[in-house]
Structure 1
Amino acid sequence: MRAKFLFCFLLWSLLSLTACSNPQTQESIPPTTSLAPIGLLPNIKMPTFGGIQFWADRRWQEGWRIQQHVFSGEHRLLDPKQVRIAWGSLEACEQRMKQRAPAPPIEDQTLVILLHGIADSRLSFWRLEDKLKQDGWQVAALSYPSTHQSLQQHADHLAEVVEHLRGYRSVHFVTHSLGGIVVRRFLADGGVWQQRISIKRIVMIGPPNQGAVFAEKVEAFPPYTWIFGDAGKSLTPSAMKSLPAPEMPFLVIAGSRGNKDGWNPVLQGDDDFVVRVEETHLQGETGHLLVKGLHGLMMNNNGVIAATLMFLRNGKVMDQGTMSGM
């Protein structure tokens, strides 16, 4: 028993001394930098899922991110391969990020932020993200616990990430479903980020801009609340009435079946099974396009990707006929 206790104590001590150290060489860490900033906990580098539904991004820097757990409140630092490099307090993880993450761009650039929909993850943008990078864009696909916090909390976390961006002067947003509503709440709230960052263009894919009748129909159904939480309640038509439209150019892309019945027999009119086409419209939209497809698969459609790239490049809206032919 005594030998086992001694072994555990020595192992814990070793982990404490080596927590979050450089996986390759200690020489890459500046000699004036502490190897274990106060507030970090003993860490074993381990792969993660990148933060699906239980983690909110608090900081982002060149593919590295600091996330906070929705229940425990703990923070962790992930590298671009989703490996946990550190965990503990926000301040300690920030210090470690400064040591390990690539430096922000010297010249102010434009960042494309991807924001996923409800009960989804940033991995849903895998193909669109890859195409954006091939087109030369800097891309940040963010995570947020869409089913475990309110719309306001999601918007607050987004504002915090944007406020702490370095090396970027402007941002484009590409959103799916609830992600578009989070951005609208974020823009309506404003904040300190407006002193440095300007929002240029937005592409909303499958957004319930008028609220979703489908959400209203199932709102009183207990499993809906259990699964989608407070954010699900914010998707009803009544909840959308007080939310203003963006002031900058924005493109709306709606999913459809291409007929008057749509995919969902419960909904009237054409739809993507979750959101009706007419619910995606928003006053002031720069353009409105239709793509044949289901709600959860739209973001990686060839036509959607091509229309997104065109709009971000020059603000032009793709011809509907061209998009339909892709």
Structure 2
Amino acid sequence: MQTITEWRHRAEMLTPPFPWDRPQWHDTGGPTVVLLHGLWRGWRAMQPLARALENDGFSTLNIPYPSARLPIHHLVTHVRHQIEDKVGDGPVHFITHSLGGILLRSLLAGEVRWKTGRAIMLAPPNAGSEIVDWSKKHPLLHIALGPAGRELASDGVPQNLPALPSEVRAAVIMGNRCSIPIFKKLLGDENDGIVSAAKGRIDGLCGFSVINADHTFIQTHPEAIRLSLEFLKTGVWPG
């Protein structure tokens, strides 16, 4: 049974993005964690997680980006500029959700001005998306995905990205609770309603866990928060 606080968090996370949204920077004096939301979402989708990080002493940079309007390479440029505008000399950690994980991989495939620390990708379509593949036969949905969403096909951007830099310690958390049954037949046996758990794997990970969470709200699942905080603090995957 969901508590009132949990329902409030979910309502906040489902708030649509607005054109006037700006990065949310909260400096606690602790290590910086950059948060990147997923497709069609806004910074509020990551805000409950940001508060959990801040309560544990981390500084957070929660970045909105126009996920439904621009292709991935333009989104990466936008995110890079936002990070460079805020971070200092210390290591920069990342927690991403869904498309945000592909932006991170794209970002780190090029030169960056900061030292990247640890990275946790929540429900990333690292091997592409079966739903995007299926949408090619349904033009209205394919158009609605937007340029970045269409690039998440199995033969799209995720499959053509290089491995993460060897110095970046990265982990993935996938969900296995399917709360959107409409796509169930398209996905593997273990999925979160949007992404198959197997699609989250990528070479070079130091941690991979599958938890009882759905795609939309995995970033506030207690186990996802626990795993993320321990990994950020120790560099050792606790799963």
Same fold (TM over 0.5): yes
Aligned match of 1:116 in 13, 20, 37? Answer: 37
| Structure 1 position 126, deviation (Å) | 2.7
Matched ranges for 1:1-326 at <5 A: 52=17, 54=19, 62-63=25-26, 110-190=31-111, 193-194=112-113, 197-239=114-156, 240-247=158-165, 248-257=168-177, 264-319=184-239
SS at match of 1:311: helix
| Structure 1 position 318, deviation (Å) | 1.8
Verify the 8 A CA contact 1:51 1:143 in the aligned structure 2.
no
| Structure 1 position 136, deviation (Å) | 0.2
Verify the 8 A CA contact 1:53 1:146 in the aligned structure 2.
no
Verify the 8 A CA contact 1:55 1:145 in the aligned structure 2.
no
CA distance in structure 2 between the aligned counterparts of 1:271 and 1:62, rounded to whole angstroms: 33
CA distance in structure 1 between the aligned counterparts of 2:109 and 2:16, rounded to whole angstroms: 26
Verify the 8 A CA contact 1:53 1:144 in the aligned structure 2.
no
SS at match of 2:109: helix
Which residue in 2 is equivalent to 1:44?
none
| Structure 1 position 215, deviation (Å) | 1.3
Structure ranking higher on relative contact order (CA contacts 8 Å, 6+ apart): 2
Verify the 8 A CA contact 2:127 2:200 in the aligned structure 1.
yes
CA distance in structure 2 between the aligned counterparts of 1:234 and 1:288, rounded to whole angstroms: 24
| Structure 1 position 245, deviation (Å) | 2.3
For structure 2, the residue ranges without an aligned partner over 5 or more in a row are: 1-14
CA RMSD of aligned residues (A): 2.5
Verify the 8 A CA contact 1:177 1:204 in the aligned structure 2.
yes
SS at match of 2:205: coil
SS at match of 1:141: strand
| Structure 1 position 278, deviation (Å) | 0.7
CA distance in structure 1 between the aligned counterparts of 2:134 and 2:58, rounded to whole angstroms: 40
- Give me the TM-score of the superposition, normalised by structure 1: 0.62
Name the aligned partner's letter for residue 183 of structure 1: L
| Structure 1 position 124, deviation (Å) | 1.2
Farther-moved stretch of structure 1 (212-221 vs 147-156):
212-221
Name the aligned partner's letter for residue 225 of structure 1: H
TM-superposition CA deviations, 1:20-39 (whole Å, max 9, x none): xxxxxxxxxxxxxxxxxxxx
For structure 1, the residue ranges without an aligned partner over 5 or more in a row are: 1-49, 64-103, 320-326
- Give me the TM-score of the superposition, normalised by structure 2: 0.84
Name the aligned partner's letter for residue 238 of structure 1: D
Q: How many pairs does the alignment contain? A: 220
Structure number with larger C-alpha Rg: 1
Name the aligned partner's letter for residue 140 of structure 1: L
Name the aligned partner's letter for residue 217 of structure 1: W
Specify which structure has the higher proportion of strand: 1
CA distance in structure 2 between the aligned counterparts of 1:51 and 1:198, rounded to whole angstroms: 32
| Structure 1 position 129, deviation (Å) | 1.2
| Structure 1 position 128, deviation (Å) | 1.3
